[in-house]
């Protein structure tokens, strides 16, 4: 009897796992592969906000013309609820949204061409300028297949008339 118990004991976990029999259930439609071109999600713009560890890039969906200005408009709106919950903040002052211009007359050079006009220039901290520069550089860089740090951004402050050339240094 002891021998019979020793032979049955190793089989007990296999036969008594506690899961009952079930019948097949509906699993939904089969996998369909990649979505069709017109059904693909919109592309993204990258914005820069601050966290406890420094400047952080976030992505927002985007569809439409003028990617650089669309990115700046979204930056001016500040972090959304989910981003704020992650501890992200913005240092942009309240006021008019910085305006982005690309192309001729914007300081073309080997690193790209973008100029951002900041209306509230005297109230815009160095921290806020970094957000603006990196957001503009990311938007222009993605359109030109360049990294943000490879795009020069000219920042024009209307309040004091200064014009500086900046590079995104994350």
In a domain, 92, yes or no: yes
Q: Do residues 115 and 150 make contact, with C-beta atoms less than 8 angstroms apart?
A: no
C-alpha to C-alpha distance for 113 and 140, rounded to whole angstroms: 8
pTM for this predicted structure: 0.70
Q: What residue numbers bound the domain in which 61 lies?
A: 43-167
- pLDDT for 31-58, tens place per residue? 655 544 444 445 889 999 999 999 999 9
Residue 20 has pLDDT above 80, yes or no: no
Angle at 106 between CA 101 and CA 111, to 5 degrees: 105
| CA 68 – CA 81 distance, rounded (Å) | 23
Q: Is residue 96, in this structure, part of any structural domain at all?
A: yes
Q: Residue 115: inside a domain, yes or no?
A: yes
pLDDT tier at 64, thresholds 50, 70, 90: confident
Residue 111 has pLDDT above 80, yes or no: no
Domain membership flag for residue 108: yes
pLDDT for res 144: 80
Q: Bridge partners of 163?
A: 156
Cα 136 versus chain centre, distance = 13
Q: What is the pLDDT of residue 159?
A: 80
13 found inside a domain = no
Q: What mean pLDDT comes out for the span 125-134?
A: 94
SS3 annotation, the chain: CHHHHHHHHHHHHHHCCCCCCCCCCCCCCCCCCCCCHHHCCCEEEEEEEEECCEEEEEEEEECCCCHHHHHHHHHHHCCCHHHHHCCCECCCCCCCCCEEEECCCCCCECCECEEEEECCHHHCCHHHHHHHHHHHHHHHHHHCCCCHHHCEEEEEECCCCEEEEEECCC
Mean pLDDT of 118-136: 87
pLDDT of residue 41: 46
Asked whether the beta carbons of 84 and 75 are under 8 A apart, the reply is: no
Asked if residue 17 is part of any domain, the answer here is no
Q: Look at residue 37 and tell me if it is in a domain.
A: no
More confidently predicted of 87 and 6? 87
* Tally of domains in the chain: 1
Does residue 121 have a pLDDT over 50? Answer: yes
């Amino acid at each position: 009897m002891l021998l019979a118990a020793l032979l049955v004991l190793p089989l007990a976990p296999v036969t008594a796992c506690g899961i009952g029999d079930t019948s097949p259930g509906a699993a939904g439609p089969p996998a369909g592969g990649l979505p069709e071109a017109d059904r693909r999600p919109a592309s993204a713009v990258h914005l820069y906000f601050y966290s406890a560890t420094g400047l952080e890039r976030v992505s927002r969906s985007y569809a439409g013309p003028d990617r650089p200005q669309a990115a700046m408009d979204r930056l001016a709106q500040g972090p959304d609820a989910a981003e704020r919950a992650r501890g992200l903040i913005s240092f942009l002052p309240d006021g008019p949204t910085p305006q982005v211009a690309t192309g001729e007359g914007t300081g073309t050079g080997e690193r790209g061409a973008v100029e951002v006009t900041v209306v509230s220039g005297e109230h815009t901290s160095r921290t806020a300028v970094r957000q603006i520069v990196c957001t503009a550089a990311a938007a222009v860089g993605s359109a030109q297949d360049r990294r943000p740090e490879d795009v020069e951004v000219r920042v024009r402050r209307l309040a004091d008339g200064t014009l500086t050339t900046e590079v995104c240094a994350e």
